[in-house]
Amino acid sequence: MIPKKASKIYKIVSEDLNIHEKLVEDLVQFYYKELRSKMSSLSHTRINVEGLGHVMVKPKIVEQAILRLEKSVKNHDTSTYNAYHNITIKINEDLEERKKIKSYNYENNTENNLGEQD
């Protein structure tokens, strides 16, 4: 299977939707620009990409990156790396929320499964 170039896809989509090719190109570029900015700013722990699923920040990788960067910038201003520290806080909050949901679901399922004995 030979992949199509983006310019050919823009043309096909614009013909199918009966709109200008430049508009299709601008919409796609805007969408991926926003996606890249969310991923690079680490403002969210999960990002939903339509058609691809969820992209999640892995806590272990972030922690390793923090350690590596802290070692390399020990004598420099670390205020530029606040995003990494903020994302670890969000990851921990997300993990706590998942634990609460799991324990809540477990408690409800066990109560319903036990039932009354005769």
Q: 4-36 pLDDT, tens per residue?
A: 787 788 889 899 999 999 999 999 899 888 888
37 lies in the same domain as 70: no
112 lies in the same domain as 71: yes
Does residue 52 lie in a domain region? no
Per the structure, the complete domain to which residue 16 belongs is given by 1-41
Does residue 51 lie in a domain region? no
36 lies in the same domain as 63: no
Does residue 46 lie in a domain region? no
CB 23 within 8 A of CB 14: yes
Does residue 6 lie in a domain region? yes
Domain count for the chain, please give it.
Answer: 2
CB 28 within 8 A of CB 10: yes
d(C-alpha 48, C-alpha 62), whole Å: 19
Q: 31-86 pLDDT, tens per residue?
A: 888 888 887 777 777 888 888 888 887 878 878 888 887 776 665 555 556 666 66
Does residue 79 lie in a domain region? yes
The C-alpha angle with vertex 41 and arms to 5 and 24, in degrees rounded to 5, equals 30
Instruction: Outline where DSSP puts E strands in the chain.
Output: 46-49, 53-56
Does residue 50 lie in a domain region? no
Candidates 43, 94, 91; CA nearest to 63 is 91
